[in-house]
Amino acid sequence: MFRILVLFFLIVWGHGVRAAPVEGRFASIDGGFLALEEWRGAPVLVVNTASQCGFTGQYAGLQALYDRYRDQGLIVLAVPSDDFNQELETAEEVKSFCELNYGLDLPMADITSVKGPKAHAFYKAVKTQTGFEPKWNFNKVLLDSEGEVVGTWGSSAKPDRGAIPRQIEALLSGS
């Protein structure tokens, strides 16, 4: 019986059983919607952001990362959130702040909840699949080209240095 169970385990898990893609549609800061499904085929880095946080300077790193890899297909999605009480009052203020101070032209969601019972469906799905929930602003979730979570990082992880660009390069190269 033990051998049968081991064989079953090896057959099922050895053939790459994968988690379901994380899906989601975010209200865009520009109006309309941003759907993760529209970006299938490309890696997507989703980052919960805030304009009045000690990590706000990471906007520059997010834009640099986007500039470096966008022509290869990378999408960087900023998701402003006031869950930690450090975001400006309105989406218009957030957009203006980001454009004036960081020259952001990467996709941005409207102000969105990222934790707890009011969390956006994307963040609820990530928590269900991986146990990861933002504990502060500028937490990062990397999706592969199929929409599956392949990496999560906390606030202190620099978006344009270290593990995050290495993982993105591996995805872009097909490794």
Longest dimension (CA), the chain: 66
Question: Sign of the CA dihedral 34, 35, 41, 43?
Answer: positive
53 flagged as catalytic: yes
8 Å CB contact between 142 and 53: no
Of the residues 19, 27, 53, 64, only one is catalytic, namely 53
Q: How far from 121 is each of 26, 65, 125, CA to CA, in Å?
A: 9, 26, 6
What positions carry a catalytic annotation? 53
